[in-house]
Protein backbone atom coordinates (compact mmCIF):
# COMPACT_ATOMS: atom_id res chain seq x y z
CA UNK A 1 0.00 0.00 0.00
CA UNK A 2 1.31 3.42 -0.82
CA UNK A 3 -0.69 6.17 0.88
CA UNK A 4 -2.86 7.62 -1.88
CA UNK A 5 -4.17 4.27 -3.16
CA UNK A 6 -3.96 0.54 -2.51
CA UNK A 7 -1.51 -0.17 -5.32
CA UNK A 8 2.11 -1.07 -4.51
CA UNK A 9 4.75 1.65 -3.98
CA UNK A 10 6.36 2.82 -7.24
CA UNK A 11 9.81 1.45 -6.37
CA UNK A 12 8.24 -2.03 -6.21
CA UNK A 13 6.38 -1.42 -9.49
CA UNK A 14 9.60 -0.38 -11.22
CA UNK A 15 11.49 -3.39 -9.86
CA UNK A 16 8.68 -5.82 -10.72
CA UNK A 17 8.45 -4.62 -14.33
CA UNK A 18 12.17 -3.96 -14.91
CA UNK A 19 11.62 -0.28 -15.74
CA UNK A 20 15.21 0.94 -15.74
CA UNK A 21 15.12 4.59 -16.86
CA UNK A 22 16.05 5.31 -20.47
CA UNK A 23 17.73 8.65 -21.07
CA UNK A 24 16.72 8.66 -24.74
CA UNK A 25 13.05 8.82 -23.65
CA UNK A 26 13.63 11.55 -21.07
CA UNK A 27 12.77 9.15 -18.26
CA UNK A 28 13.13 10.90 -14.91
CA UNK A 29 10.42 9.35 -12.78
CA UNK A 30 8.52 10.79 -9.83
CA UNK A 31 8.25 8.07 -7.21
CA UNK A 32 6.78 10.04 -4.28
CA UNK A 33 3.00 9.67 -4.57
CA UNK A 34 2.36 12.54 -2.16
CA UNK A 35 4.29 14.73 -4.57
CA UNK A 36 2.42 13.46 -7.65
CA UNK A 37 -0.90 14.05 -5.84
CA UNK A 38 0.27 17.59 -5.09
CA UNK A 39 1.10 18.16 -8.78
CA UNK A 40 -2.32 16.78 -9.75
CA UNK A 41 -3.95 19.27 -7.35
CA UNK A 42 -2.32 22.16 -9.23
CA UNK A 43 -4.65 21.28 -12.13
CA UNK A 44 -7.68 22.18 -10.00
CA UNK A 45 -10.90 20.19 -9.60
CA UNK A 46 -10.65 17.27 -12.03
CA UNK A 47 -13.85 15.49 -11.07
CA UNK A 48 -15.76 16.90 -14.07
CA UNK A 49 -12.82 16.81 -16.51
CA UNK A 50 -11.08 14.41 -18.85
CA UNK A 51 -7.32 14.57 -18.42
CA UNK A 52 -4.75 14.00 -21.16
CA UNK A 53 -1.43 12.82 -19.72
CA UNK A 54 1.65 12.49 -21.91
CA UNK A 55 4.30 10.02 -20.77
CA UNK A 56 2.78 8.29 -17.73
CA UNK A 57 5.85 6.03 -17.34
CA UNK A 58 5.31 3.76 -14.32
CA UNK A 59 2.23 5.82 -13.44
CA UNK A 60 3.09 8.02 -10.46
CA UNK A 61 1.34 11.12 -11.79
CA UNK A 62 -1.44 9.00 -13.31
CA UNK A 63 -2.18 7.61 -9.84
CA UNK A 64 -2.11 11.15 -8.43
CA UNK A 65 -4.63 12.30 -11.04
CA UNK A 66 -6.96 9.36 -10.45
CA UNK A 67 -6.69 9.65 -6.66
CA UNK A 68 -7.60 13.35 -7.02
CA UNK A 69 -10.83 12.20 -8.69
CA UNK A 70 -10.13 12.85 -12.40
CA UNK A 71 -13.24 11.78 -14.33
CA UNK A 72 -11.12 10.00 -16.94
CA UNK A 73 -7.44 9.92 -17.84
CA UNK A 74 -6.11 9.27 -21.34
CA UNK A 75 -2.40 8.49 -21.08
CA UNK A 76 -0.11 8.29 -24.11
CA UNK A 77 3.16 6.44 -23.46
CA UNK A 78 5.85 5.63 -26.01
CA UNK A 79 7.66 3.00 -23.95
CA UNK A 80 5.81 -0.33 -24.20
CA UNK A 81 7.68 -1.62 -21.11
CA UNK A 82 5.41 0.61 -18.99
CA UNK A 83 2.15 -0.92 -20.21
CA UNK A 84 1.81 -3.76 -17.66
CA UNK A 85 2.26 -1.32 -14.75
CA UNK A 86 -0.31 1.03 -16.28
CA UNK A 87 -2.67 -1.92 -16.80
CA UNK A 88 -2.61 -2.54 -13.02
CA UNK A 89 -3.65 1.08 -12.41
CA UNK A 90 -6.42 0.75 -14.97
CA UNK A 91 -7.74 -2.31 -13.14
CA UNK A 92 -7.72 -0.43 -9.81
CA UNK A 93 -9.76 2.45 -11.32
CA UNK A 94 -12.23 0.62 -13.61
CA UNK A 95 -13.31 2.55 -16.69
CA UNK A 96 -11.30 5.66 -15.81
CA UNK A 97 -7.87 5.08 -17.37
CA UNK A 98 -7.20 4.52 -21.07
CA UNK A 99 -3.60 3.97 -22.17
CA UNK A 100 -2.37 4.39 -25.73
CA UNK A 101 1.05 3.03 -26.62
CA UNK A 102 2.61 5.45 -29.09
CA UNK A 103 4.33 8.74 -29.76
CA UNK A 104 2.43 11.78 -28.46
CA UNK A 105 3.70 13.74 -31.47
CA UNK A 106 1.84 11.40 -33.84
CA UNK A 107 -1.40 10.69 -31.97
CA UNK A 108 -4.51 12.85 -32.16
CA UNK A 109 -6.01 12.42 -28.69
CA UNK A 110 -9.26 14.24 -29.43
CA UNK A 111 -11.20 11.18 -30.55
CA UNK A 112 -10.74 9.72 -27.08
CA UNK A 113 -11.61 12.76 -24.96
CA UNK A 114 -14.79 14.57 -23.91
CA UNK A 115 -14.61 18.26 -22.93
CA UNK A 116 -13.81 19.85 -20.59
CA UNK A 117 -10.25 18.64 -21.11
CA UNK A 118 -7.17 19.42 -19.03
CA UNK A 119 -3.65 18.40 -19.93
CA UNK A 120 -1.38 17.37 -17.07
CA UNK A 121 2.08 15.89 -17.62
CA UNK A 122 5.61 15.44 -16.40
CA UNK A 123 6.80 15.90 -19.96
CA UNK A 124 9.75 14.15 -21.53
CA UNK A 125 12.24 17.01 -21.95
CA UNK A 126 13.07 16.10 -25.55
CA UNK A 127 9.53 16.76 -26.82
CA UNK A 128 8.11 19.05 -24.10
CA UNK A 129 8.57 22.40 -25.84
CA UNK A 130 7.35 21.06 -29.18
CA UNK A 131 4.15 19.74 -27.59
CA UNK A 132 3.60 23.02 -25.71
CA UNK A 133 3.98 25.07 -28.91
CA UNK A 134 1.48 22.79 -30.68
CA UNK A 135 -1.05 23.18 -27.84
CA UNK A 136 -0.57 26.97 -27.89
CA UNK A 137 -1.00 27.32 -31.66
CA UNK A 138 -4.18 25.48 -32.67
CA UNK A 139 -6.13 26.50 -35.77
CA UNK A 140 -9.02 27.75 -33.63
CA UNK A 141 -9.07 29.57 -30.30
CA UNK A 142 -10.23 28.68 -27.63
CA UNK A 143 -8.29 25.39 -27.96
CA UNK A 144 -9.57 21.88 -27.17
CA UNK A 145 -8.09 22.12 -23.66
CA UNK A 146 -9.02 24.38 -20.73
CA UNK A 147 -5.71 24.27 -18.89
CA UNK A 148 -2.19 22.86 -19.07
CA UNK A 149 -0.31 21.76 -15.95
CA UNK A 150 3.13 20.80 -17.15
CA UNK A 151 6.53 19.96 -15.71
CA UNK A 152 9.49 21.56 -17.50
CA UNK A 153 13.13 22.21 -16.87
CA UNK A 154 13.17 25.32 -14.67
CA UNK A 155 14.80 27.34 -17.45
CA UNK A 156 11.97 26.54 -19.90
CA UNK A 157 9.34 27.32 -17.23
CA UNK A 158 10.96 30.73 -16.72
CA UNK A 159 10.83 31.42 -20.44
CA UNK A 160 7.08 30.69 -20.47
CA UNK A 161 6.22 33.16 -17.68
CA UNK A 162 8.93 35.76 -18.44
CA UNK A 163 8.13 39.48 -18.51
CA UNK A 164 9.65 42.12 -20.84
CA UNK A 165 13.08 43.29 -19.79
CA UNK A 166 14.25 39.88 -18.59
CA UNK A 167 16.72 37.59 -20.35
CA UNK A 168 14.16 34.78 -20.43
CA UNK A 169 11.59 36.92 -22.29
CA UNK A 170 11.07 35.83 -25.89
CA UNK A 171 8.93 33.91 -28.33
CA UNK A 172 7.69 31.34 -25.81
CA UNK A 173 6.54 34.03 -23.32
CA UNK A 174 4.62 35.86 -26.03
CA UNK A 175 3.08 32.70 -27.44
CA UNK A 176 1.98 31.56 -23.98
CA UNK A 177 0.84 34.83 -22.48
CA UNK A 178 -1.00 36.20 -25.53
CA UNK A 179 -3.87 33.75 -25.05
CA UNK A 180 -3.25 32.22 -21.60
CA UNK A 181 -2.75 33.13 -17.98
CA UNK A 182 0.56 31.45 -17.07
CA UNK A 183 2.35 31.03 -13.76
CA UNK A 184 4.86 28.75 -12.08
CA UNK A 185 2.90 26.61 -9.64
CA UNK A 186 5.70 24.53 -8.05
CA UNK A 187 9.47 24.19 -8.11
CA UNK A 188 11.20 20.82 -7.80
CA UNK A 189 14.86 20.06 -7.12
CA UNK A 190 16.68 17.37 -9.17
CA UNK A 191 16.43 14.99 -6.19
CA UNK A 192 12.64 14.77 -6.57
CA UNK A 193 13.21 12.54 -9.62
CA UNK A 194 14.67 9.07 -10.15
CA UNK A 195 17.23 9.26 -11.66
CA UNK A 196 17.84 12.94 -10.81
CA UNK A 197 18.27 15.17 -13.88
CA UNK A 198 21.13 17.70 -14.00
CA UNK A 199 18.81 20.70 -13.62
CA UNK A 200 15.91 21.87 -11.46
CA UNK A 201 12.33 21.59 -12.70
CA UNK A 202 9.12 23.54 -12.30
CA UNK A 203 5.42 22.97 -12.88
CA UNK A 204 3.78 25.64 -15.04
CA UNK A 205 0.03 26.13 -15.00
CA UNK A 206 -1.57 27.77 -18.04
CA UNK A 207 -5.26 28.59 -18.32
CA UNK A 208 -6.67 29.29 -21.78
CA UNK A 209 -8.29 32.73 -22.00
CA UNK A 210 -11.58 32.84 -23.94
CA UNK A 211 -9.97 35.25 -26.44
CA UNK A 212 -6.50 36.73 -27.03
CA UNK A 213 -5.50 39.64 -24.77
CA UNK A 214 -4.94 41.87 -27.84
CA UNK A 215 -6.14 41.35 -31.42
CA UNK A 216 -3.59 40.07 -33.96
CA UNK A 217 -3.36 37.51 -36.72
CA UNK A 218 -1.61 34.49 -35.12
CA UNK A 219 0.68 33.82 -38.08
CA UNK A 220 1.73 37.46 -38.41
CA UNK A 221 2.39 37.74 -34.69
CA UNK A 222 4.37 34.51 -34.76
CA UNK A 223 6.48 35.71 -37.72
CA UNK A 224 7.20 39.18 -36.37
CA UNK A 225 8.14 37.82 -32.95
CA UNK A 226 10.35 35.06 -34.40
CA UNK A 227 12.18 37.62 -36.53
CA UNK A 228 12.49 40.19 -33.73
CA UNK A 229 13.97 37.69 -31.26
CA UNK A 230 16.14 35.92 -33.81
CA UNK A 231 18.65 38.72 -33.30
CA UNK A 232 17.58 39.81 -29.84
CA UNK A 233 20.65 41.95 -29.16
CA UNK A 234 20.01 44.11 -32.24
CA UNK A 235 17.84 47.22 -32.36
CA UNK A 236 14.48 46.41 -33.91
CA UNK A 237 15.02 48.63 -36.94
CA UNK A 238 17.97 46.36 -37.80
CA UNK A 239 16.45 43.06 -36.66
CA UNK A 240 13.29 43.70 -38.72
CA UNK A 241 15.01 45.32 -41.70
CA UNK A 242 13.27 44.22 -44.90
CA UNK A 243 10.50 42.46 -42.95
CA UNK A 244 7.87 44.91 -44.23
CA UNK A 245 7.95 48.18 -46.19
CA UNK A 246 8.56 51.28 -44.03
CA UNK A 247 9.29 49.17 -40.98
CA UNK A 248 10.58 52.16 -38.96
CA UNK A 249 7.26 54.00 -39.46
CA UNK A 250 5.34 50.89 -38.52
CA UNK A 251 7.40 50.42 -35.37
CA UNK A 252 6.67 54.01 -34.34
CA UNK A 253 2.96 53.58 -35.17
CA UNK A 254 2.93 50.53 -32.87
CA UNK A 255 4.45 52.61 -30.06
CA UNK A 256 7.91 51.05 -30.44
CA UNK A 257 11.12 53.06 -30.82
CA UNK A 258 13.15 51.75 -33.80
CA UNK A 259 16.14 51.71 -31.43
CA UNK A 260 14.33 49.43 -28.93
CA UNK A 261 15.41 45.81 -28.59
CA UNK A 262 12.86 42.99 -28.81
CA UNK A 263 13.28 42.00 -25.18
CA UNK A 264 11.90 45.37 -23.98
CA UNK A 265 8.72 45.30 -26.10
CA UNK A 266 5.57 44.09 -24.38
CA UNK A 267 2.85 41.86 -25.80
CA UNK A 268 0.44 44.72 -26.53
CA UNK A 269 2.98 46.51 -28.75
CA UNK A 270 4.01 43.31 -30.56
CA UNK A 271 0.32 42.73 -31.34
CA UNK A 272 -0.01 46.33 -32.58
CA UNK A 273 3.00 45.78 -34.85
CA UNK A 274 1.58 42.47 -36.16
CA UNK A 275 -1.61 44.37 -37.10
CA UNK A 276 0.44 46.86 -39.13
CA UNK A 277 2.68 44.51 -41.13
N1 LIG B 1 4.91 10.61 -15.74
C2 LIG B 1 6.01 9.82 -15.24
C3 LIG B 1 6.48 10.37 -13.91
O4 LIG B 1 6.12 11.52 -13.62
O5 LIG B 1 7.20 9.67 -13.21
C6 LIG B 1 7.16 9.75 -16.25
C7 LIG B 1 7.70 11.08 -16.68
S8 LIG B 1 9.17 10.98 -17.66
C9 LIG B 1 9.83 12.59 -17.38
C10 LIG B 1 8.61 11.12 -19.34
C11 LIG B 1 7.80 9.96 -19.90
O12 LIG B 1 7.43 10.24 -21.25
C13 LIG B 1 8.52 8.64 -19.94
O14 LIG B 1 7.71 7.62 -19.42
C15 LIG B 1 8.81 8.39 -21.44
O16 LIG B 1 8.85 7.03 -21.80
C17 LIG B 1 7.63 9.09 -22.07
N18 LIG B 1 7.85 9.58 -23.44
C19 LIG B 1 9.02 10.03 -23.98
N20 LIG B 1 8.83 10.47 -25.24
C21 LIG B 1 7.50 10.29 -25.50
C22 LIG B 1 6.67 10.54 -26.63
N23 LIG B 1 7.17 11.08 -27.75
N24 LIG B 1 5.34 10.24 -26.55
C25 LIG B 1 4.83 9.69 -25.42
N26 LIG B 1 5.57 9.43 -24.32
C27 LIG B 1 6.88 9.73 -24.35
- Pocket probe mutation, ligand 1, options 10, 25, 153, max atoms within 8 Å of Cβ: 25
Rounded distance from Cα 127 to ligand 1 centre (Å): 9
- Assess if residue 5 is contained within a domain: no
* Number of domains comprising the chain: 2
Regarding whether 246 and 165 lie in a shared domain, the answer is no
- Assess if residue 1 is contained within a domain: no
pLDDT of residue 125: 87
- Pocket probe mutation, ligand 1, options 57, 102, 201, max atoms within 8 Å of Cβ: 57
| Domain finish residue from 208, 229, 257 | 208
Ligand 1 binding pocket includes 109 (Cβ within 6 Å): no
Regarding whether 253 and 133 lie in a shared domain, the answer is no
For residue 71, give the CATH number of its domain: 3.40.50.150
Task: Provide the H-helix boundaries in the chain.
Answer: 10-17, 33-41, 60-67, 83-92, 125-136, 154-161, 171-179, 218-230, 236-239, 247-253, 267-276
Rounded distance from Cα 99 to ligand 1 centre (Å): 13
Question: Do the Cβ atoms of 204 and 147 come closer than 8 Å?
Answer: no
Regarding whether 68 and 34 lie in a shared domain, the answer is yes
Write out the chain's pLDDT in tens, 277 residues.
677 999 999 999 999 999 999 999 999 999 999 999 999 999 999 999 999 999 999 999 999 999 999 999 999 999 999 999 999 999 999 999 999 999 999 999 999 999 999 999 999 988 999 999 999 999 999 999 999 999 999 999 999 999 999 999 999 999 999 999 999 999 999 999 999 999 999 999 999 999 999 999 999 999 999 999 999 899 999 999 999 999 999 999 999 999 999 999 999 999 999 999 9
Regarding whether 166 and 62 lie in a shared domain, the answer is yes
Regarding whether 181 and 57 lie in a shared domain, the answer is yes
| Contacts of 245 by beta carbon, 8 Å cutoff, 6+ apart | none
- Assess if residue 267 is contained within a domain: yes
Question: Do the Cβ atoms of 122 and 39 come closer than 8 Å?
Answer: yes
- Assess if residue 4 is contained within a domain: no
Regarding whether 242 and 188 lie in a shared domain, the answer is no
- Considering only the C-alpha atoms of the chain, give the largest distance between any 2 of them, rounded to a whole number of Å: 68
Q: Is 83 helix (H, G, I), strand (E, B) or coil?
A: helix
Q: Is 131 annotated as a binding residue?
A: no
pLDDT of residue 223: 96
- Assess if residue 2 is contained within a domain: no
Containing structural domain, residue 241: 218-276
Regarding whether 202 and 141 lie in a shared domain, the answer is yes
- Assess if residue 35 is contained within a domain: yes
For residue 224, give the CATH number of its domain: 1.10.8.100
Regarding whether 196 and 64 lie in a shared domain, the answer is yes
| Domain finish residue from 208, 234, 267 | 208
Q: Is 122 annotated as a binding residue?
A: yes
| Domain finish residue from 160, 189, 208 | 208
| Contacts of 20 by beta carbon, 8 Å cutoff, 6+ apart | none
pLDDT of residue 1: 64
pLDDT of residue 52: 98
Q: How far apart are CA 224 and CA 230, in angstroms?
A: 10
What's 20's DSSP letter?
-
Ligand 1 binding pocket includes 29 (Cβ within 6 Å): yes
Q: Is 76 helix (H, G, I), strand (E, B) or coil?
A: strand
Atom of ligand 1 nearest to the CA of 62: 1
Regarding whether 222 and 182 lie in a shared domain, the answer is no
| Contacts of 68 by beta carbon, 8 Å cutoff, 6+ apart | 37, 40, 41, 43, 46
Regarding whether 153 and 49 lie in a shared domain, the answer is yes
Ligand 1 binding pocket includes 56 (Cβ within 6 Å): yes
Q: How far is CA 185 from the centre of its chain?
A: 12
- Assess if residue 181 is contained within a domain: yes
| The pTM of the whole model exceeds 0.95 | yes
Half-sphere exposure of residue 187: CA atoms within 13 angstroms, side-chain side = 6
Regarding whether 195 and 71 lie in a shared domain, the answer is yes
Regarding whether 126 and 56 lie in a shared domain, the answer is yes
- Pocket probe mutation, ligand 1, options 78, 81, 195, 196, max atoms within 8 Å of Cβ: 78
> What are the E-state strand segments in 102-213?
117-122, 147-153, 180-188, 193-194, 201-208
- Assess if residue 139 is contained within a domain: yes
pLDDT of residue 3: 78
Residues written for the chain: 277
| Contacts of 109 by beta carbon, 8 Å cutoff, 6+ apart | 52, 74, 76, 100
The answer to whether the peptide bond before residue 53 is cis (omega within 30 degrees of 0) is no
Amino acid sequence: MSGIDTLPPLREVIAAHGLSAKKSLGQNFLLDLNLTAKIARQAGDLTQADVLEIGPGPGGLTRGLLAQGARRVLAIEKDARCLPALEEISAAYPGRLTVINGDALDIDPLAHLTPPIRIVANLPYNVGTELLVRWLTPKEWPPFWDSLTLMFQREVAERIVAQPGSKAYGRLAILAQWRCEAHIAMSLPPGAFTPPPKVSSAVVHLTALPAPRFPADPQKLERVVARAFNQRRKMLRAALKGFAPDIEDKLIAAGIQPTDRAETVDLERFCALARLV
